[in-house]
Amino acid sequence: MRVLIAVTHLLGVGHLARAAQLARGLVVRGHEVCLATGGRPVPHLDLKGVDVVQLPAVHCRDADFRTLWTDAGTVLDDAGKAARRDALLAAFRRFVPDVVVTETYPFGRRSLRGEFEALVRAVWERPDRPALLASIRDILNPPSRAAKAAEADAVVAGYYDGVLVHGDPAAVPLEASWPVGERLGSRLRYTGYITDGASGDKPQERTDEIIVSGGGGTAGLPLFEAAVAASHLDADGLSWRVLVGHGVPDDAFRHLAERAHPRLVVERARRDFRALLSRAAVSVSQSGYNTVLDLAAAGTPAVLVPFEEAGEREQALRAARLAASGLAVLLPARELAPQTLLRAVDAARSLPVDAAPAIDTAGVARSVALIREAGTRAQEVRAAWAALDRQLETLAEGGRPATVWWRDDDAAEPTEALDRLLDLRARLGMPLALAISPRLATDRLAARLRREGDDLAVLVHGIEHANHAPTGMKSCELGFRPIGDLLTALTDGLEDLRTRFGARVLPVLVPPWNRIDAALVPELSAIGYRGLSTFGPRAGAALDGLCIVNTHCDPIAWRQGRGLADEVDILTKLVRDLGREESIGLLTHHLVHDDRIWHFTETLLSRLAVHPGIRWMRTDAVFAAAIPDEGTRA
């Protein structure tokens, strides 16, 4: 597979480090990887064999993720955003990936939303669309507003094939930090924690050294300052080593290093950090994703001082869970001072050595497998579309085009979704039938439909789309009530629709949920109905004086979150159904379409609209065999 990973670290280096480990894991297993990184370069990261594309770098200051700064010391402006976007899209076009992975987005990186949205559009505009995955850590910063979570949920549902959660649900489920509904939950794929697997040599005896680390950026400066001061006050004579990230400016580093003494070493972060950690008496650090994994590998007693500026809660949540398990000492950032740090270190020295949390660390291997699976699935989707094209060619060459019609259910009033539906049918020049529940229809809807041509029909969608089935049974409106009551309501409903929509209305019944009491069917022709339409292959063309014309292709996964159903399954069934000796109906529900369903629907209809293997039928023509000439033209 060819995999493009888009990542931008803004404060520390954890996001890039995790993406780099994933990239290396892919390369080792024979895949090609392009890593498009938009944060500051990190020289000590191992990216051997990875095609690295450095976007114009940005970073944030003081945890203000809304204001981004360039290396020139200026605020990122529209021109800078455009340059980053263009560089990212150029990498996408040059590399031609089979899979695209966006790190953090759409769950974060809102300040860079424009470039990520452009990448997502490019993915979906490519005819041989690659798979699209999101990559997130175990704990996200909880959304400040419900709208943020809803927006991310909609983007995932509309465009993403899956979300790789680099964590262990037994340790920390995503629900601990982010609202997870049915729609998002169906796309989550837990991978285990991303780690390079190196644990270092664990000696029989540890040193008396206190290792202080704070990530790769400036967020660790308050911790470094407190540790330097604490080392001067330490009456136990412990050795202290403060490892300063390469993202900390030289002036700040020199200010710390100038206060070194015989029991204190201040130096830049080292490649052998894990080896140092495995020998340390205590680790003092923040509680970022990679730090906790290092602690788990080393089994070193820890003091955790989570980063909590600007409302950040991700590290605090992680540290609290570890502290509650007795695996670390929690020192909230607001309580950080040299004296409190010394007391926390003393408490940590009494923690059991090697009492690391038992967590799944197979994240690299499982992520690679899931990425490959997504890429393979994308290839299968392309093959399914190719199979549809072959079926259409066969129908055209044999001179026996399939008869197809289109039904959309549940219109009640004008909405943006209805406008999108009607615009699509107008653009493609296709006839359409709207199944409308009489008691839900409005005059506003009638006024809106007057602007449509006479190839738009209205069918009777039950009564008011109300479920009368007992608890535990499948939803059904046209049943579980006296037959006489239902017939009266259906008679009134047909007349009400005719009064409101005129000649567009055909005497065709579309039962809500495509279910109807069998005892009701023989009575329908006596009250003026001439057709019946449900879902699935019909048993015969006529039943009890009614013409039976069903729908067969529904793109919605109603029982799996109401997103797009399995694309391969939809297309495979459609190829089969196009060979049937009956009119094939496409069924849509515009009110519940997300962007992914809209894209599939528009792609399918565009493909079928002009192909000689398809003969599109007006709704009145489909039912003409049983509907007498009553002046209807729809």
Q: How would residue 456 be classed by pLDDT, with cut points 50, 70 and 90?
A: very high
Query: Could you read off the pLDDT of 137-163 as tens digits, one per residue?
Result: 999 988 989 999 999 999 999 999 999
Among 301, 302, 295, 298, residue whose Cα is nearest residue 201: 298
At residue 499, the 3 state secondary structure works out as helix
Query: Could you read off the pLDDT of 479-523 as tens digits, one per residue?
Result: 999 999 999 999 999 999 999 999 999 999 999 999 999 999 999
Query: Could you read off the pLDDT of 596-616 as tens digits, one per residue?
Result: 999 999 999 999 999 999 999
Residue 215 to residue 41: CA distance in whole angstroms:
14
Helix H or strand E segment including 165: strand 162-166
Among 625, 530, 522, residue whose Cα is nearest residue 582: 625
Q: How would residue 356 be classed by pLDDT, with cut points 50, 70 and 90?
A: low
What is the secondary structure of 51-104 as a DSSP string?
EEEEPSPEEESTT-TTSEEETTSSB--HHHHHHHHHHHHHHHHHH--SEEEEES
> Residue range 356-379: average pLDDT?
90
Residue 120 to residue 180: CA distance in whole angstroms:
22
What is the pLDDT, as a whole number, of residue 45? 84
Phi-psi region of 399 (alpha: psi -120 to 50; beta: other; left: phi over 0): left
Q: Answer whether residue 357 shows pLDDT above 70.
A: no
Q: How would residue 630 be classed by pLDDT, with cut points 50, 70 and 90?
A: very low
The model's pTM: 0.81
Lowest-confidence region among 64-68, 408-412, 416-420: 64-68
Residue 634 to residue 626: CA distance in whole angstroms:
15
Q: Answer whether residue 633 shows pLDDT above 70.
A: no
> Residue range 172-201: average pLDDT?
84
Lowest-confidence region among 286-290, 352-356, 454-458, 572-576: 352-356
Residue 195 to residue 313: CA distance in whole angstroms:
23
Q: Answer whether residue 187 shows pLDDT above 80.
A: yes
Q: Answer whether residue 11 shows pLDDT above 90.
A: no
What value does the mean pLDDT of the chain take? 92
Neighbours of 71 (CB within 10 A): 11
- Of 9-13, 42-46, 559-563, 600-604, which has the strongest mean pLDDT? 600-604
Query: Could you read off the pLDDT of 218-269 as tens digits, one per residue?
Result: 888 999 999 999 999 998 889 999 999 888 899 999 999 999 999 999 999 9
Percent of the chain at pLDDT above 70? 96
CB of 510 within 8 A of CB of 462?
Answer: yes
Which has the higher per-residue pLDDT, 288 or 209? 209
Which has the higher per-residue pLDDT, 539 or 560? 539
> Residue range 309-337: average pLDDT?
86
Q: Answer whether residue 60 shows pLDDT above 70.
A: yes
Residue 630 to residue 624: CA distance in whole angstroms:
11
> 558 is written with which tokens?
């109603």
Q: What letter does residue 130 receive in the DSSP assignment?
A: P
> 254 is written with which tokens?
């020199």
Which domains can be identified in the chain, with CATH numbers? 2-190 (3.40.50.2000), 209-348 (3.40.50.2000), 401-622 (3.20.20.370)
Lowest-confidence region among 269-278, 562-571, 588-597: 269-278
> 295 is written with which tokens?
């602690």
Residue 54 to residue 39: CA distance in whole angstroms:
8
Cα torsion 438, 444, 448, 449 to 10°: value is 20
> Residue range 155-176: average pLDDT?
92
Residue 183 to residue 451: CA distance in whole angstroms:
35
Among 304, 278, 138, 293, residue whose Cα is nearest residue 213: 304
Q: Answer whether residue 626 shows pLDDT above 50.
A: no
What is the pLDDT, as a whole number, of residue 197? 60
> Residue range 293-317: average pLDDT?
85
> 592 is written with which tokens?
């519940």
What is the pLDDT, as a whole number, of residue 63? 74
Q: Give the CA radius of gyration of the chain.
A: 31
> 305 is written with which tokens?
């001082």
Q: Are strands 131-137 and 99-103 parallel, antiparallel or unpaired?
A: parallel
Bridge partners (DSSP) listed for residue 614: 402
Q: How would residue 358 be classed by pLDDT, with cut points 50, 70 and 90?
A: low
